[in-house]
Amino acid sequence: MKISITSKLDGIRSWSLQALDTCPGSIDAGELVDACKGCYATTDNYRFPNVKAPRAHNKLDWQRLEWVDDMVLELRKDKFFRWFDSGDMYSLGLAEKIFQVMTLTPWVNHWLPTRVHKFPKYRVVLEKMKALKNASIRFSSDSVLGEYTKNLHGSVIIPTPNDIKKGMKLCEAYANNGKCSGCRACYDKKIKVIAYPAHGVSMHKVIRIIKAA
Ligand code: SF4
């Protein structure tokens, strides 16, 4: 498998797939949902072949019989792990395997953001993941204006840090050169909702268009 290391995440490792074509929850009524319209994973350096190739590799690789065992071995020294810096659990089979990896690596704090909660077939496996002590499963809101459903969503985009509301934990990476800088809130299942200030030219353009409509 191809593991990525993202400087934004203080060097915490992640496993990802190519965005959009593995993101069934990115489409609603035939249109990209707002949060995915300016998705960072379809722009900038995510377009480069050296970033795309490992994600394409992983899409085939997870289907190997030995993949779960190999992932468990790979994670033997990790304290934190991020699933899907880009992409999502497009397959129920993949979700079941990730659940097995989480179960077999109790020393790792897993963070997994997803939009597949929109599909009933994922309900059972997502409930199983959520019941694990070492897994923070965050259902992403489609809003870029800070709208979310309490007790359902675990993350949402807000236009600016000033749009933070009660009940949300502000992601302060924007104040630290875009890096987590020791914060591990996303991996902490006690923290119910994280609010990420929009970043990137595309996302701000999307917000301008939505606000003007
Ligand atoms: S909330 Fe904390 S852990 Fe999550 S992305 Fe922001 S800085 Fe990183």
CA–centroid distance, 43 to ligand 1, in Å, is: 21
Q: Annotate 3-44 with DSSP letters as a single string.
A: -EE-GGGTT-EEE---TTTT-GGGEETTEE-HHHHT-GGGSG
* SS3 (DSSP) at 192: coil
Query: What pLDDT, on a 0 to 100 scale, did the predictor assign at position 1?
Result: 81
pLDDT tens column, 131-169: 999 999 999 999 999 999 999 999 999 999 999 999 999
> What residue owns the CA closest to ligand 1's atom 3?
184
The answer to whether 144 touches 166, Cβ cutoff 8 Å, is no
> What residue owns the CA closest to ligand 1's atom 1?
171
Distance CA 206, CA 144 (A): 8
Assess whether pLDDT exceeds 90 at residue 211: no
Please state, for a pLDDT cut of 70, what percent of the chain lies above it. 96
> What residue owns the CA closest to ligand 1's atom 7?
180
Cβ(171) to ligand 1 under 6 A? yes
Question: CA triplet 30, 121, 39: central angle to 5 degrees?
Answer: 40
CA–centroid distance, 67 to ligand 1, in Å, is: 28
pLDDT tens column, 39-69: 766 665 556 777 778 888 999 999 999 999 9
Assess whether pLDDT exceeds 90 at residue 74: yes
pLDDT tens column, 18-46: 888 899 999 998 899 999 987 766 665 55
Structure tokens at 181: 């800088």
Cβ(183) to ligand 1 under 6 A? yes
Query: What pLDDT, on a 0 to 100 scale, did the predictor assign at position 107?
Result: 98
